[in-house]
Amino acid sequence: MDTRAHQLKTNAVDCLRAAQRATDMAAKSALLQLAQIWRMLAEQAEQLNREHGRHDKDPADD
C-alpha cells in the first residue's frame, strides 16, 4: 500500500475518533470536516498512484 495514502487514511480515522470524543459541537463538526478532507486526499493519492503506476511502499515492509 502507498504509505502516503495510508498515512492520510490514518489521519482521517484519528479525526473521526476525536470527533466521537468531542463534547463541543463546533469541535465535533470541525473534526468531521477534517476527516472528510483527509479521506479525500487519500483517495486522490491512490488515484495518482494508479495513474502513474506508483506503488510507494514502506521500506520497513521489505
Q: Look up the pTM and report it.
A: 0.79
So what's the pLDDT on residue 60?
44
Q: Is 46 helix (H, G, I), strand (E, B) or coil?
A: helix
Residue that is written with C-alpha cell 498512484 in the block: 49
The reported pLDDT for the residue numbered 21 is 98
CA 7 to the chain's CA centroid: 6
Question: What are the boundaries of each domain within the chain?
Answer: 3-54
| Residue 51 pLDDT | 87
- Give the pLDDT of the chain (62 residues) as one tens digit per residue: 578 999 999 999 999 999 999 999 999 999 999 999 999 999 999 999 888 876 555 444 44
Q: What is the predicted pLDDT for the residue at 58?
A: 47
- Cβ count near 7 (within 10 Å): 15
Closest by CA to 9, choosing from 35, 28, 31, 47, is 35
Distance CA 3, CA 31 (A): 23
